[in-house]
Amino acid sequence: MNNELHRWSALQLVRALATRELSVLQLATALIERSVALDASFHAWAWFDAKRARREARALDARAATGPLHGVPIAVKDNIDTAGIPTSYGSAIYAGNVPLIDAACVSLARAAGAWVLGKTVTTELANMTPGPTRNPRNLEHTPGGSSSGSAAAVAAGLAPLALGTQTAGSVIRPAAFCGIVGYKPSPRRVARAGVKANSDSLDEVGVLARCVDDAALLGLTLAGRAGATLPSAEAYAPRVGMTLTSRASMASASTVAMLDVTAQRLSAAGAIVRELAWPASFDALFDAQRAVQLFETARALAAEWQYRRAQLSAELASFLAEGRRISGEAYCAALATARRAGAALDTLFVELDVIIAPAAPGAAPRGLASTGDPVFNRPWQLLGCPCVAVPSGRDENGLPLGVQVIGRPGDDEKLLGVAAWIEARL
């Protein structure tokens, strides 16, 4: 059994741990052995301590179940604080930093019975400069970012669940590149206290998993909805809008074909699928999201810029310099663009349950110099739409492609239900 535990879903693990069919130590041992054997190739872990993992597993086995995630190990992105565990935010500036308390999301996961198996590599300060993580589907390709290690850890079977964060596309894009599920919730649904800030308007805590039910299990627990019905139980044929947005020219041929095939398969399964006309007024969202992110990140990282600039990469320093050049007027105009589009969002969702769009322009780019382009994530992030990345085929080179399933802000339960329905048909 130990040799196959990395394949088990989080839900399977929850049930086996609850009945004591499986001990936490057995599970920890299996995942430790897998990490020791494989992570030298993937570099998903920023911090991993096998002895500590075994101690925590034994302690959990010695006490009664404490919540719906009792005994389930999670991987935590290294821009999220963990008490007594090094948290360097992917930056030399914070080497050796050990927080005294957990981030709120980690604390809530622990309260539900989960435990931290390890910390996963993030890009520098959760921005664009990559770390050493490779894509488990092809080591010559990026896993995406900034939740690089979290996506790789789940895809490689090093952990069943992982926490990530998204400011533009940092959960959805890595999930698509690594062939797994990513869930980015509606704004403020998951508490952000204790997460290294980049953009107050845009930052969100998300979940990476191998199926929609697993992502919902952790995501709903963190949102205070631990008793909610699992998405796969919401069985109905949805009304789906399909769009390549106005940036269709940036999508690869494989991505365009993938979206068409996805629409055909969903329609054949009973969904009502129609192509959306992208509103011209929404075109400004792409640049507006980037302006908001640049402006806010330059100010969130003002201390690093002011006092530790020599320890920043040239890429991040350039990004922050660009953000510092954006005027307050331009920033306010970008926020106004978001408000206007948000007020018109219902017109896009008329008679629709969800919208589907590319999760990324294509499959994971070759090389580790870039984490890919978040262009297809930008408008939805600025609008506050919850999103789920669902694996949807492969490109001509066998690399995973993902469809982005998008819901109305606040409609997370419906979104997850539809995403599970779509997952089952893809």
Residue that the structure tokens 């062939």 belong to:
179
Output DSSP code: residue 230: P
- Token digits of residue 124: 């520098």
Contact 169, 141 (CB under 8 A): no
Active site residue 196: no
Give the list of residues 6+ apart from residue 52 with CB closer than 8 angstroms, or none. Answer: none
DSSP count for the chain of H helices, then E strands: 15, 11
* DSSP characters over 327-365: -HHHHHHHHHHHHHHHHTHHHHTTT-SEEEEESSSSSPP
CA distances from 107 to 13, 116, 125, 193, 198 (A): 20, 10, 21, 10, 21
Distance between alpha carbon 51 and the CA centroid of its chain, in Å? 28
Q: Please tell me which residue in 170, 186, 199, 254 is annotated as part of the active site.
A: 170
Contact 102, 136 (CB under 8 A): no
Sheet with 239-242, edge to edge strand ranges: 45-48, 115-120, 73-77, 161-166, 204-209, 181-184, 387-394, 400-406, 354-358, 239-242, 272-275
Amino acid at 183: Y
Residue that the structure tokens 């190990």 belong to:
73
Contact 6, 158 (CB under 8 A): yes
Of 276, 267, 271, the residue nearest 241 (C-alpha): 276
Active site residue 146: yes
Distance between alpha carbon 6 and the CA centroid of its chain, in Å? 20
Q: Please tell me which residue in 35, 88, 91, 146 is annotated as part of the active site.
A: 146
Distance CA 115, CA 408 (A): 32
Distance CA 17, CA 374 (A): 38
Give the list of residues 6+ apart from residue 87 with CB closer than 8 angstroms, or none. Answer: 78, 79, 80, 81, 94, 97, 98, 99, 119
Q: Could you give the 3-state DSSP secondary structure of residue 424?
A: helix
> Burial, 261: exposed, middle or buried (Cβ in 10 Å; 0-12, 13-18, 19+)?
middle
Distance CA 252, CA 395 (A): 9
**Known catalytic residues?**
77, 146, 170
